[in-house]
Amino acid sequence: MSLETVIVWVEKYPFFVQLIKVGGVAALSFIFYFIAKLFVLKWLTMLAGKTKTKLDDILMQDTVIRRLSYIVPLIIIFSFAHVVPFAEAIIQKASFALISVFVLLNIGAILTGFNDIYLTPEMSKGRPLKGYVQILKLLIYIAGGIIILSFLLERSPLILLSGFGAMTAVLLLVFRDTILSFIASLQITTNDLVRVGDWIEIPKYGADGDVIDIALHTVTIQNWDKTLTVVPTHKVIEETFKNWRGMKLSGGRRIKRSVYIDMTSIRFCDEKMIEKFSRYQLISDYMKHKREDIEQHNKRLGIDTSNRVNGRRLTNVGTFRAYIEAYLRNQKNIHKEMTFLVRQMPPGADGLPIEIYVFSNDTVWANYEAIQADIFDHILAVLPEFDLRIFQNPTGRDFGKLLVNGT
């Protein structure tokens, strides 16, 4: 078949010519798609994996590569849209819109990757950027949407932007939570109020645990029972919350608990008691110096000590307080540089409270509870050695003894 015959046949059937052109563009698109995906991008991914920096790993992550491989055939289709004259404008607009969408999604994925790198402990130091990244992504998506819409409608982006002025009230209403959350995120980050990893309490929402995520709209807290509480970011600022970060950074955790003494067991120390207490190693020096001080005081003032009411005397409850203080100062788990009090609180219906107000030097919850339990195990066990009794409301056993004694 001669060339002239082919030309005559082609001119006779232009539909087949058009079909061949479309098929050629489609084949070219597929060829470049596979070349980009299987060779160029794969080679770039291997190259990024050999480097030490994580920045190129972000650019070569799976979702970014997949979208980049889609962009290549779309560019070819956009460039050869003229082979279909009757649909050229539609094909160009559709392909441009898809290219723009994939570019915007890739930018969003890259920003997310940068945020993931920033969250490494040595870089972020507990200051989250996730909220700002989400705002930036939102602005980029809005700007991209305006560009795509202006291209599809063949109008200037400025005309579309001017139309938004009339929609300001509606936009403020629609994006109210986003605006409030953005301002709250600024306050949280600027004032360093909450970090990822902080233990916080928000009583209104039943939140009590570690912050595991700070996003634009929400703060996610994993409670100690492993449930999750999601609190709107702006509500964290509006409501009262407690952040335990200061306790962790200080290196001490407060122990504040009282032992209630039965007031009927409190009395002056006689010689027998003083002799017994003097044999307790932790307070032997205290007993010696305290006894000498009291004797000198009473002698100096000429006080008649034959009557117990006159002058100063040791009491079993005062000696017990001195013992507790000596015992706590001898404990390696108690922070000696922080507030250290063993104090007598106002007596009440439950007896006389002796409050221990100190700090453990281990802030881990389980260790802290063990330290506190060991201290009070000893205090409760040693208290009868000072001829004191713990105040306790009557139990069924107590009433049973009364009935037995009564019969």
- pLDDT tens track for 111-122: 777 777 776 655
Which residues lie below 8 Å from residue 383, measured CB to CB, with a gap of 6+? 259, 261, 320, 389, 390
Region 331-358 average pLDDT: 93
Judge whether residue 16 has pLDDT over 80.
Answer: no
Q: Which pTM value belongs to this model? A: 0.58
Alpha carbon distances (Å) from 31 to 25, 36, 72: 10, 9, 10
Confidence (pLDDT) at 48: 61
Q: Is 387 left (phi over 0), alpha (psi -120 to 50) or beta?
A: left
Confidence (pLDDT) at 279: 92
Interatomic CA distance for residues 235 and 206, integer angstroms: 13
Confidence (pLDDT) at 306: 74
Region 142-165 average pLDDT: 74
DSSP 366-400: HHHHHHHHHHHHHHHHHGGGGT--B-----HHHHH
Give the rounded percent of residues in the chain with a pLDDT score beyond 70: 78
Q: How buried is residue 140: exposed, middle or buried, by Cβ count under 10 Å (0-12/13-18/19+)?
A: middle
pLDDT tens, position by position, 211-250 = 998 888 889 999 989 999 999 988 888 888 889 888 888 8
Region 36-40 average pLDDT: 69
Pick from 153-162, 249-258, 351-360, 370-379: least confident: 153-162
Region 382-400 average pLDDT: 83
DSSP 69-134: HHHHHHHHHHHTGGGSGGGHHHHHHHHHHHHHHHHHHHHHHHHHHHHHHHTSHHHHTT---HHHHH
What is the number of other CB atoms lying within 10 angstroms of the CB of residue 215? 16
Judge whether residue 360 has pLDDT over 80.
Answer: yes
52 pLDDT band (50/70/90 cuts)?
low
Helices (DSSP H) in 239-395: which residue ranges?
245-250, 271-278, 284-300, 316-329, 365-382
- Continuous segment of H or E residues that includes residue 225: none
Give the rounded percent of residues in the chain with a pLDDT score beyond 90: 29
Confidence (pLDDT) at 55: 59
207 pLDDT band (50/70/90 cuts)?
very high
Q: How many residues would you count in the chain?
A: 407
Residue 341, both tokens:
């009090």
pLDDT tens, position by position, 256-269 = 999 999 999 999 98
What is the number of other CB atoms lying within 10 angstroms of the CB of residue 318? 16
pLDDT tens, position by position, 71-122 = 778 888 878 777 777 777 887 888 888 888 888 887 887 777 777 777 665 5
Region 272-283 average pLDDT: 92
The larger pLDDT score, comparing residue 58 to residue 133, is at: 133
Mutual angle of helices 365-382 and 316-329, in 10-degree steps? 150
Distance of CA 265 to the CA centre of its chain: 49
Distance of CA 99 to the CA centre of its chain: 38
Q: What domains appear along the chain, each with residue ranges and CATH number?
A: 7-187 (no CATH), 192-244 (2.30.30.60), 253-395 (3.30.70.100)
Region 268-293 average pLDDT: 91
Interatomic CA distance for residues 86 and 82, integer angstroms: 9
Alpha carbon distances (Å) from 126 to 2, 186, 235, 282: 77, 14, 20, 45
